[in-house]
């Protein structure tokens, strides 16, 4: 799996030659081995890319983000039919018992709240959310997630903060969440799962309900960066976006190992598949340590 995330913010041409991604602008040319690339963000709308390059990026399971006129992600290129046993995965996913789906959502919510609590600790808090973790029931029947989030965001960003407000803090959060959602969607489709078939989210107009389920445990990493590094920004600039995009290299814990965030997503999806196959809860907890970058051996 690749580890380089390319953020192309200026006008450029993107091509593939000799198994290398070639990024050319007015000043220089940069080459990247396809096998080393995890994702590409094409932020500038004047950037051009060849059809051959798009095909090769998809063939190498490289995630490509496309941006709108506001330079915000509004589309992704995902691999299609890249998994050799997709029908088997479909059968496991569709046959997943409802009680198991409820247990998995319970685990996700508990992990999310634990990570939110860790973020508060890293920012000077004192286990404000810890009592709520044990209160999460199967399928989060009493909606502890919403109660925790209400306390969490006000503790993190101040009592006047409202998640739905139109301000730069929320813009930063939404940008970071969109990046994580894209990476989760990439991993889901790469493994032959049905992205619209979630275990909790069930919006008929949403093609990525499962991505919205699994990404929840990673949201607090975005919150931590926005709080610690971007709390004083006044605009969602290219530099800020690059910082948020680079979150995929932040080191997190999975089981007994430490991995970059983008690979932790891959491991979580694999554990979800194992849960579907074995009809038992095999999800591992994701642990946040801070904003340190993972070092590849």
Spell out the per-residue pLDDT of the chain, length 297, in tens: 667 889 988 889 999 999 999 999 887 899 999 999 988 999 888 899 999 999 999 888 888 988 888 777 888 887 765 555 667 777 889 999 999 999 999 999 999 999 999 999 999 988 889 999 999 999 999 999 999 999 999 999 999 999 989 999 999 999 999 999 999 998 888 888 888 999 999 998 888 999 999 999 999 999 999 999 998 899 999 999 999 999 999 999 998 899 999 999 999 999 999 999 999 999 999 999 999 998 876
Go through 232-252 and write b for each residue having 16 or more CB atoms within 10 A of its CB, e for each that does not.
ebeebeeebbebbbbbbbbbb
Domains of the chain: 4-77 (3.100.10.20), 86-293 (1.20.120.920)
Would you state the structure tokens that stand for residue 239, as one six-digit string? 């530099």
Strand partners, 258: 253
Would you state the structure tokens that stand for residue 255, as one six-digit string? 């089981």
- 33 DSSP assignment: E
Would you state the structure tokens that stand for residue 236, as one six-digit string? 């969602």
In Å, how far are 100, 105, 176, 276 from 93, measured between CA atoms? 11, 15, 28, 6
Cβ-based neighbours of 272, under 8 Å, separated by 6 or more:
104, 193, 214, 282, 283
Query: Taken in order 133, 137, 139, 144, is the CA torsion positive or negative?
Result: negative
Q: How far is CA 167 from the centre of its chain?
A: 22
Helices and strands: H and E segment counts in the chain: 10, 11
Identify the helix (H) or strand (E) that includes residue 38. Answer: strand 37-42
**Which candidate, 263, 267, 297, 262, places its Cα nearest to that of 285?**
267
């Amino acid at each position: 799996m690749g580890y380089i995330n390319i953020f192309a913010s200026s006008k450029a041409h993107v091509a593939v030659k000799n198994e290398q991604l070639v990024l050319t602008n007015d000043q220089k040319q940069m080459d990247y081995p396809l096998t080393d690339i995890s994702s590409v963000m094409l932020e500038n709308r004047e950037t051009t890319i060849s059809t051959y390059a798009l095909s090769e990026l998809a063939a190498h399971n490289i995630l490509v983000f496309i941006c709108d006129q506001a330079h915000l992600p509004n589309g992704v290129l995902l691999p299609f039919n890249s998994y050799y046993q997709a029908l088997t995965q479909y059968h496991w996913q569709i046959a997943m018992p409802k009680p198991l789906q409820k247990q998995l959502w319970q685990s996700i919510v508990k992990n999310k709240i634990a990570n939110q609590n860790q973020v508060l600790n890293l920012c000077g808090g004192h286990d404000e959310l810890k009592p709520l973790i044990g209160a999460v029931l199967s399928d989060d029947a009493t909606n502890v997630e919403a109660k925790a989030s209400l306390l969490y965001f006000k503790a993190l960003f101040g009592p006047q903060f409202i998640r739905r407000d139109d301000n730069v803090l929320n813009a930063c959060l939404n940008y970071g969440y969109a990046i994580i959602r894209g990476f989760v969607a990439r991993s889901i489709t790469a493994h032959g799962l049905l992205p619209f078939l979630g275990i909790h989210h069930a919006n008929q107009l949403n093609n990525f309900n499962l991505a919205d389920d699994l990404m929840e445990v990673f949201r607090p990493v975005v919150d931590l960066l926005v709080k610690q590094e971007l709390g004083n920004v006044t605009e969602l600039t290219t530099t800020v976006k690059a910082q948020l995009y680079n979150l995929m290299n932040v080191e997190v814990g999975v089981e007994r190992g430490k991995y970059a965030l983008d690979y932790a997503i891959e491991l979580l999806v694999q554990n979800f598949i194992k849960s579907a196959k074995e009809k038992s809860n095999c999800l591992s907890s994701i642990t946040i340590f801070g904003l340190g970058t993972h070092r590849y051996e």
